[in-house]
């Protein structure tokens, strides 16, 4: 079994991100580059991190009209990402066009409900269902749109896996039992997410901010 841990390289400096990736490369299965990294370092930064030799997960969370999202997908072919994120709440047509425009070996996955949101946050933006029900609804829509999978919290992954057996499930918001939650509201342990059917475990601060990131990654891997 390959290592399901993708390290979120949410660091402001490119040299620090590359150094951390090189340090932990034997203990994670891939590297996730998100908005913080991409806005700061763009295509050049992605090329530099790709030299480390691990699959690249480009977490851009695209959310716009279908034509714009499709064009953005085309403009990242050259980076050869293994995984790219879009927002399921952009709607079915946007997801279909994003998938059609994606590179051949690129999995397109849709964020359902961010792990930083709870039922109260959803109510405040006019969504009158629980985070759980809304994640399931958006996962069904992503499935119908022909995507490869979705991003959800560890609280929903088992229920979504049951309805979509062949889906590819990315689970962030993971915390070893003793770790601080920070801005995450629907967190579970990496092991619980794995048991629920997660394909990829996204982990950032519990590794990147640890005194010894290699030891932290190894300790998490040992629990899986």
Ligand X SMILES: O=C(O)c1cc(=O)[nH]c(=O)n1[C@@H]1O[C@H](COP(=O)(O)O)[C@@H](O)[C@H]1O
Q: Kindly list the residues in this chain that would bind ligand X in the complex (CB under 6 A).
A: 8, 10, 34, 59, 85, 111, 114-115, 151, 172-173, 182, 184, 202-206
Q: 23, 64, 140, 185: which one is catalytic? A: 64
- What single-letter DSSP state applies at residue 188? B
CB of 187 to ligand X, least distance (A): 8
Closest-CA residue to 102 (of 119, 121, 130, 81): 81
Q: Catalytic: which of 15, 23, 61, 140?
A: 61
Q: Which of 31, 32, 22, 29 has the alpha carbon at shortest distance from 1? A: 29
Q: How far is the CB of 86 from ligand X (least distance, A)?
A: 10
Q: Rounded to whole angstroms, how far apart are CA atoms 221 and 97?
A: 36
Q: Is 176 exposed, middle or buried (0-12, 13-18, 19+ CB in 10 A)?
A: middle
**Residue with Cβ nearer ligand X (66 or 204):** 204
Residue 121 or 140 with smaller CB distance to ligand X: 121
- Is residue 118 among the annotated active site residues? no
**Residue 191, exposed/middle/buried by CB under 10 A (0-12, 13-18, 19+)?**
middle
Q: Is 148 a catalytic residue?
A: no
Residue 60 annotated in ligand binding: yes
Nearer to ligand X, 5 or 145 (CB): 5
Mark the binding-site residues for substrate, compressed into ranges. Answer: 10, 32, 59-68, 115, 175, 184, 204-205
Active site residues: 59, 61, 64
């Amino acid at each position: 079994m390959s290592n399901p841990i993708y390290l979120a390289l949410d660091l402001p400096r490119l040299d620090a991100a590359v150094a951390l990736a090189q340090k932990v490369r034997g203990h994670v299965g891939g590297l996730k580059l998100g908005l913080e990294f991409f806005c700061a370092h763009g295509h050049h930064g992605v090329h530099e991190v790709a030299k480390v030799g691990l699959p690249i997960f480009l977490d851009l969370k695209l959310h716009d009209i279908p034509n714009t999202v499709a064009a953005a997908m085309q403009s990242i072919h050259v980076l050869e990402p293994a995984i790219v994120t879009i927002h399921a709440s952009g709607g079915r047509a946007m997801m279909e066009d994003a998938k059609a425009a994606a590179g051949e070996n690129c999995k397109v996955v849709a964020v359902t409900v961010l792990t930083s949101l709870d039922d109260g946050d959803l109510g405040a933006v006019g969504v009158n269902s629980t985070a759980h029900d809304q994640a399931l609804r958006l996962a069904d829509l992503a499935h119908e749109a022909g995507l490869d999978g979705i991003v959800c919290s560890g609280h929903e992954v088992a229920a979504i896996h049951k309805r979509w057996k062949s889906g590819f499930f990315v689970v962030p918001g993971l915390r070893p039992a003793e770790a601080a939650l920070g801005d995450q509201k629907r967190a579970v342990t990496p092991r619980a997410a794995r048991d629920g059917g997660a394909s990829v475990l996204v982990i950032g601060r519990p590794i990147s901010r640890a005194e010894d990131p290699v030891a932290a990654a190894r300790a998490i891997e040992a629990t899986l």
